[in-house]
Structure 1
């Protein structure tokens, strides 16, 4: 197996973003505790990478026949037959067990949430993708768990800050997922995936995407509303949310793939900017 195949198997860019999100939340939780344990931070990063990579392995094993049907996934190592499902299963199990071991060493709640995330992503979200658009809502739960996991890894308690971190990432994922689904709808339909709210690029799907971006706006202001952040995070979150909302409105107005692509790229910038501002503002208080 080449390094290139491993990168594709674990969906390296997605896994990196997950670990980044958890790391930011770990630092916020460390601020609550009063100090940063860098050894624990390293365990979180390594364990989080392994657990997320394992979930992606299982996802690709389950969808190997479907991945062959789509242009964007046909070159993954399993459908391209550069790797067997047995080899991928061994890699996934090793990464999952090793990652869970490291994370539960931090505390049991972190380990439990990590296992729950793998199970929900690989064995609930993955099969639902061909059955119902509700899959996006289901998938948004494990997708929003990384900041929660990172926070409780540092501060073993699900408190208001933990819930806020979860809610921001949960609501962000809806317009993020649906913009990707809009861009890739033709490819997804080759595999029978139904990820847009109505299953089609129509006005209703665009309206639901816009409404999700609209709800994200007040959710992004929760850190300031509950006084965990000041005007810096509030101002940046408001500006980012308004830009994001405008992009969602543009999709609703035009229903063009170009507008969906702009919303998709906007989502890639939105989350790290808002999370980093929350961290800097919180640490500065």
Structure 2
């Protein structure tokens, strides 16, 4: 009682409680359960299932792997790719080619984004005991970033083939995809903080601009229906 009656002691007691793993888990569950229920009942079961899958991937796979293996980066990229897929399934109720394309773009974009960011934080990751490509496999870190910069060009070219956008999209998105690929090559070649910073800051505006261009060139539903009718 003395601890509780003392204002300073009460603050210490509150801080200990707020920093407890039990409270963190309780708060997470109190957010996750109604969130998944809302997606399942208010949107559709497929979107709810994807939300539940992402929570499991993030908490049970991605987070523990940070101290075990560089595979955490690939798992984290999957976690980041699922939300736009959920948006697609929420709007269409199906997991089709367009959903996978959106997920693929987010998946590939995360490697130049995160690998460039982690390059400047190598010392911090090493001191913290985190197993990151930039610390344990620096050459792979740069190589993977460049590879996925180039993959964005290919994924953008797939959009009209999969009937998600018009053929205008891969053409008008080519300059920004080539630019981020150029910066990815500079990062791969120079392996310094300057090139990593340029690639990271480019990634911040590249993704929203790429998605905006994709939106402006999207195929409308009536165009797809007209195409099916003409084929039949």
TM-score bucket of the superposed structures, by smaller chain: 0.7 to 0.9
SS in 2 for 1:132: coil
Match of 2:19 among 75, 79, 84: 84
Q: Are the equivalent residues in 1 in contact too, given 2:122–2:135 (CA < 8 A)?
A: no
Number of paired residues?
205
Matched, 1:205 2:141: yes
Distance 1:239 1:226 in 2: 21
* 1:259-274 alignment, distance < 5 Å: 259-274=195-210
**What stretches of structure 1 of length at least 5 have no aligned partner?**
1-79
Q: Answer yes or no: is the 8 Å Cα contact 1:232–1:277 preserved in 2.
A: no
The superposition leaves residues 69-104 of structure 1 with CA deviations (integer Å, 9 ceiling, x where unpaired) of xxxxxxxxxxx9793233333322221112111111
1:75-114 correspondence runs (5 A): 83-85=18-20, 86-105=22-41, 106-114=43-51
Q: Quote how far apart the aligned CAs of 1:211 are.
A: 1.7
Residue in 1 aligned with 2:156? 220
Following superposition, the deviation at residue 280 of structure 1 comes to: 2.1
Structure 2: stretches of 5+ with no match in the other structure: 1-14, 224-232
1:96-130 Cα offsets, whole Å, 9 max, x none, are 11211111121111111000001001110111111
> Which runs of at least 4 in structure 1 moved beyond 4 Å after TM superposition?
none
Cα distance, 1:224 vs. partner? 2.5
**Which of 1 and 2 has greater Rg?**
2
- What residue number does 2:6 align with? none
**1:144 pairs with one of 81, 96, 104:** 81
Distance in 2, Cα, partners of 1:195 & 1:112? 29
Q: What is the Cα-based RMSD across aligned positions, in Å?
A: 2.1
CA contact (8 A) 2:17 2:23 kept: no
Shift in CA distance, 222/197, structure 1 to aligned 2, threshold 3 Å:
farther
Structure with the higher helix share, 1 or 2: 2
- TM-score norm. by structure 2 comes to 0.81
* Match status 1:280 vs 2:216: yes
Return the offset for 1:282: 1.1
Separation in 2, partners of 1:220, 1:190: 39
CA distance in 2, matches of 1:260, 1:215: 18
| Residues 61-210 of structure 1 aligned to structure 2 (within 5 Å) | 83-85=18-20, 86-105=22-41, 106-196=43-133, 199-201=136-138, 203-210=139-146
1:253 maps to which of 180, 189, 207: 189
Larger relative contact order (Cα-Cα within 8 Å, sequence gap ≥ 6): 1
Q: Which is further off, 246-255 or 189-198?
A: 189-198
**Change in 2 beyond 3 A, CA 1:229/1:124:** same
CA drift of 1:208 comes to 2.6
Contact 1:133 1:198 in 2 (8 A): no
